[in-house]
Amino acid sequence: MEHDLDCLTIAELEKLATQRMDRQTRDYYNEGADSGTTVRENESAYQKYRLRPRVLRNVSKVDSSVNVFGTRCSVPFGVAPAAMQKLAHEEGELATAHACQEKGVVMGLSSFSTTALEDVRAASGNTPNVLQLYLFEDREQSRKLIERAKKVGYSAVVLTVDTPLLGRRNLEIRNQFRLPGHLRAANFDLDNDGRGSRSSRSERSDTAFSKDHSAAAKSTAANYREGRRVLPTGPVTFHTHGPNPTLEWDECIPWLKAQASPMQVWVKGIMTAEDAALAVGHHVDGIIVSNHGGRQLDGTLATLDALPEIVAAVNHRIPVHIDGGIRHGTDIFKALALGADFCWIGRPMLWGLAYKGQAGVELCLRLLTDEFQLCMGLAGVARVADIGPQFLYRVKASEFLSRL
């Protein structure tokens, strides 16, 4: 196997990518909400656990494959939905899709992608895709997206539920983040049938992100305080349309299930046993333990720390996935040992994309795959199903803190 000698770890990938991104992109991708406590905690939570390797267990064949979304995938992790990937590389989501297809890795696509969902699906071949959804107050916009995803063969829709309001991202505000004029939120620039019109696309130019973040946030907040509900108008942007504080379990999940069938319906952004139980009670197909990579509510538990109570509450009734802070193959092993069925990788994939486009995403996936398979072998585990809590030792708080 050929190594990229400049980049042998995700930490090195982060550094290399950071040098290549302009300030606005780097800050948007890397920052967390408020003081960034949760972004850091997501990562450091993995250091609370050490591995307990077993020996003499014949690991001549290590099988890291798992079933997910009805397909056998070679690794128990996928690429998390992340918005606006053309900020990182001109090929954006298509580069990610090609890399995932090449490596047989599931790709989650953000509703706020800079490539149309149909084009991503076409680039993914037989590798499954899931479409991340924000349920807009203008529900018709969401319905159209769901129809389009169904038509082109997405396996699931994943409803993000941790965005009733937009988290406060200070660098985004300071930089007056907006999408550059040559890019657009491609899923909302198309005709209903998903074919789109090139002329209307170019006429729309940068309008999709031209609303200032703080102005949108201020008017939304004022409306809530005064008890006014005003549907956002104008082009769909994540600042204006993404947050939706009106959603409730009993209304939105049955609606989504009815629209999305036969696609699976997942919920992303579960952080408590109570909400996990509600998700099971509302018959979703699976949940993702996530705090949005620390970009929404700062000060939440790390996702790894939230995982055990959620796994216990779900009690094998539906699959439990996790994201947030995964930066090494051993982190994936630890999450599975604590009961996750599958992991999703956010920023490291974006760093790969910024570093070298498709080749960079492939590099990211290869590093994590190699590290995970090596961890399995060295820990004495030949099958993913055999990974369990017996392979972990939780360090004492004092030992953990002294290393931070």
> Beta partners for 132?
158
Scanning residues 163 to 222, which ones bind ligand LXCWX6NK (CB under 6 A)?
163, 166
> By Cβ distance, which residue is nearest to ligand LXCWX6NK?
242
160 is in an annotated binding site: yes
Q: Which does 372 bind (CB under 5 to 8 A by kind): ligand LXCWX6NK, ligand FMN, none?
A: none
Helix (H) or strand (E) segment spanning residue 41: helix 37-44
Query: Helices 249-260 and 139-152: crossing angle, nearest 10°?
Result: 30
SS3 91: coil
Q: CB under 8 Å to 6, separation ≥6 — which residues?
A: 12, 16
Q: Supply the minimum distance, in Å, between the C-beta of residue 231 and ligand LXCWX6NK.
A: 15
From the list ligand LXCWX6NK, ligand FMN, none, partner contacted by residue 42 (C-beta under 5 to 8 A by kind): ligand FMN
Cα angle at 257 between 254 and 263, to 5 degrees? 175
Q: Backbone phi, then psi, for 292, in 5-degree steps? A: 65, 35
Kindly give, in sequence order, each residue whose CB lies less than 8 Å from that of residue 371, ignoring residues fewer than 6 positions away. Answer: 328, 329, 330
Question: Please, which residue, 211 or 292, has the CB nearer to ligand LXCWX6NK?
Answer: 292
Nearer to ligand LXCWX6NK, 292 or 356 (CB): 292
- Which of ligand LXCWX6NK, ligand FMN, none does 235 bind, CB closer than 5 to 8 A by kind? none
**Binder of ligand FMN out of 17, 83, 94, 190 (CB under 6 A):** 83
Name the active-site residue from 89, 292, 321, 328: 292
Binding mask 273-292 for ligand LXCWX6NK (x = CB under 6 A): -------------------x
* In contact, 82 and 367? CB cutoff 8 Å: no
DSSP calls for 242-278: S--TT--HHHHHHHHHHHHTTSEEEEEEE-SHHHHHH
The C-alpha atoms of residue 117 and residue 205 are separated, in whole angstroms, by 19
Q: Are residues 92 and 115 in contact, defined by beta-carbon separation less than 8 angstroms?
A: yes
Q: Minimum distance between the CB of residue 57 and ligand LXCWX6NK, rounded to whole angstroms?
A: 41
Do 356 and 36 touch, CB atoms closer than 8 A? Answer: no
Residue selected from 38, 42, 115, 187 as contacting ligand FMN according to rule CB under 6 A: 42
Q: Are 140 and 115 in contact (CB under 8 A)?
A: no
The binder of 166, among ligand LXCWX6NK, ligand FMN, none, by C-beta within 5 to 8 A per type, is: ligand LXCWX6NK
Binding to ligand FMN by CB under 6 A, coded x per residue (else -) over 5-34, reads: -----------------------xx-----
Q: Which residues bind ligand LXCWX6NK (CB under 6 A)?
A: 83, 112, 134, 163, 166, 238, 242-243, 292, 295
Active centre residues (catalytic): 292
Q: Annotated binding residues for glyoxylate, as ranges?
A: 28, 132, 134, 169, 292, 295
Q: Which residues bind ligand FMN (CB under 6 A)?
A: 28-29, 42, 80-83, 110, 112, 132, 160, 268, 290, 292-293, 295, 323-326, 345-347, 350
